[in-house]
Chain A
Amino acid sequence: MSITNTDRQIIQALQDGLPLVPAPFAQVAEGLDIDEAALIDRIAALKASGVIRRIAAAPNHYKLGMVANGMTVWDVDDAHIAALGAQIGALPFVTHCYERPRALPDWPYNLFAMVHGASRDEVSEKRAQIAVILGDACQSSDILYSTRILKKTGLRLKERT
């Protein structure tokens, strides 16, 4: 879908977050010079079309003690990736799971699964569980731990003049 100018203004008003006040939509609506009910209706439409996935908290894994954050990557037989990817994505400790293109020769991996834990040992044990599920369909794998958050702002729409 393409978004309207009003939607754009709504997204820009919300991209830094929803105000933590008793009537947050009324406050945002006031800034946009529309009424609260109209704003809530537009947000409902943006949710229905998938532009807004949900309104929720983005937790900081590090501050919650999940200090080991591993991006596990796997070279999985293309013929089996749909079925195996679905199984890996359903594991309770996998937070994101995607098929992505390989970048040969630098990068042979086509399945990416994020695993978080309290220690690298814990993440490594979970990686071993994934390896068991993938079995012979996986040629090679690696794990990339994050050592620093360099930026975390989410989507930013450009100002239009």
Chain B
Amino acid sequence: MTPLDDTDRRILNHMQDDLPLVANPYAMVAADLNLTEADLLARLSRLKGDRVITRFGPFFDAAAMGGAFCLCALAVPEHDFEPVLIKVNAHPEVAHNYERTHHLNMWFVLATETPEGIGATADAIERETGLKVLRFPKLQEFFIGFRVAA
């Protein structure tokens, strides 16, 4: 990966904010950053290619579409981790999945188009893996900052 320079860092900090909803949004952002549009687009493509940016685009809220999100956890036996992972990740409803240091070692987020989809998917994962899926839907959200200083 190309090491990040100061311009890359300025771009990363700026582009975690909402993109202007205009026909030529990158030109507008480039002007704010004192870059040319071509330079900004080339750098964004490189940052995506290097996976410094995992995705550039809209962040959707499944709940606002009438769907739901739910954080779930599994205690997966070490020797069974990869087969269970394949079964869990095969569900398109699994939006993110992380391995964590705990006996509950697999934590994933389900995003579904209907509230019922959460239970149906979690139940299916239980059937397929033989493991109990602990479900932690959010009761209250205190802040979504997300931004990380690059």
Q: Which residues of chain B come closer than 8 Å to A34, judged between CB atoms?
A: none
Task: State which residues 45-69 of B face A: CB under 8 Å.
Answer: 45, 47-48, 50-62, 64-66
Given A1-B65, A144-B102, A145-B101, answer yes or no on A17-B57 (Cβ-Cβ < 8 Å): yes
- Residue on B nearest A120 in the bound complex, by CB: B101
Asked if A116 is at the interface of the complex by the 8 Å CB criterion, the answer is yes
Q: Which residues of chain A come closer than 8 Å to B12, judged between CB atoms?
A: 57, 59, 64
Q: Which residues of chain B come closer than 8 Å to A148, judged between CB atoms?
A: 98-99
Interface of B is mostly: mixed
Q: Which of A3, A14, A21, A43 contacts B21 (CB 8 A)?
A: A43
**A-B Cβ contacts below 8 A, count:** 239
Q: Which residues of chain B come closer than 8 Å to A55, judged between CB atoms?
A: 18-19, 21, 25, 57-59
Asked if A134 is at the interface of the complex by the 8 Å CB criterion, the answer is no
Asked if B120 is at the interface of the complex by the 8 Å CB criterion, the answer is no
Asked if B113 is at the interface of the complex by the 8 Å CB criterion, the answer is yes
- Residue on B nearest A81 in the bound complex, by CB: B140
Check if B57 sits within 8 Å of A14, measured CB to CB.
yes
- Taking residues whose C-beta sits less than 8 angstroms from the other chain, chain A's interface range is 35 or more
Q: Which of B52, B104, B137, B147 contacts A101 (CB 8 A)?
A: B137
A24 to B133, CA, bound (A): 40
Asked if A32 is at the interface of the complex by the 8 Å CB criterion, the answer is no
Given A60-B51, A100-B136, answer yes or no on A53-B60 (Cβ-Cβ < 8 Å): yes
Q: How far is the CB of B72 from chain A (nearest CB, A)?
A: 10
Q: Which of B25, B60, B144 contacts A155 (CB 8 A)?
A: B60
Task: State which residues 9-23 of B face A: CB under 8 Å.
Answer: 12, 15-19, 21-23
Check if B138 sits within 8 Å of A24, measured CB to CB.
no
A14 to B57, CA, bound (A): 7
- Residue on B nearest A116 in the bound complex, by CB: B148
Check if B54 sits within 8 Å of A59, measured CB to CB.
yes
Q: How far is the CB of A44 from chain B (nearest CB, A)?
A: 6
Check if B95 sits within 8 Å of A154, measured CB to CB.
yes
Given A59-B148, A151-B108, answer yes or no on A99-B65 (Cβ-Cβ < 8 Å): no
Contacts A22-B24, A54-B58 aside, 10 further interface pairs with beta carbons under 8 A come to: A3-B66, A15-B57, A24-B25, A57-B16, A58-B53, A71-B100, A145-B100, A148-B98, A154-B96, A156-B111
- Residue positions of B touching A, CB distance < 8 A: 1, 4, 12, 15-19, 21-27, 37, 41, 44-45, 47-48, 50-62, 64-66, 71, 73, 85, 89, 92-102, 104, 106-108, 111, 113, 134-148, 150
